Amino acid sequence: FVRKMQVQHPGPANRPVPIAPRGQMMCGLFGEFGPDSITRQGALAAIAQTIAHRGPDDEGFATGTGWMLGFRRLAILDLSPDGHQPMASPDGRHLMVFNGEVYNYRELRDDLLAAGETFRSGTDTEVLLRLIQRRGVAAALAQANGMFAFACIDLVARRFVLARDRLGVKPLYLHATPRGLRFASELKALLAWPDAPRTLDRAALGDYLATGYVAGNGCILHGYAKLLPGHFAEGSLDAP
């Protein structure tokens, strides 16, 4: 199920801050939902290696029944191990992998502190994770001002959400299989799955040759897609 984000216009409490140079803000994520989600460490490491250039500082994987999350980290806000991803909520119910920056995370953090939350890191990832826990995905995305792509799972409700920022600064590629859903920051990470198909989409190729890009949620390979900017997708871990 895919929905468009509701926008909360920046006010005094969540105005944008200058964006760092593009090469300084990266990280990379990947994962899979469904009963056949890959769990072998060797396969996970091979997928992570395809996006190693996005995150030279750390690597992390987490797996469970019906899900897998992987991450390559470029440490920016909190250089300590407390910023390791996948990041779990204190109760272990929610896990997140996050690429990007929430510009107004300090204001959001202050609001959450006033509401009784505590934090173990100085990252915007943890702020967004707690915000989703407390207020829900739609409300959290309406308040978060930034550039990002992320995956978050709820292990009690057995649900997932994938989201992309309003302007689509951060990429998020998707590939639906007969029994699951795969996602990654780059297409080549999805192609690192051992059974990944590699069939050229001739219509998308025509668009690319005519305009220099593939519009909308299309992709140069058949069976792959991009999550549209300003949208989030949600579904069941057991039947994505």
Catalytic residues: 27
The secondary element (H helix, E strand) that includes residue 98 is strand 94-102
Question: How many helical (H) and strand (E) elements, i.e. helices and strands, does the chain have?
Answer: 6, 12
Kindly list the distances between the CA atom of residue 96 and the CA atoms of 79, 80, 200, in Å, as whole numbers in the listed order. Answer: 18, 17, 32
> 97: which strand partners?
151
C-alpha span between 106 and 195 (Å, rounded): 42
DSSP for 47-69, please give it.
Answer: HHHTTGGG-SSEEEEEEETTEEE
Round to whole Å and give the CA distance between 86 and 95.
6
Residues across the chain: 240
Residue 136 phi, psi dihedral angles, 5° rounding: 95, 160
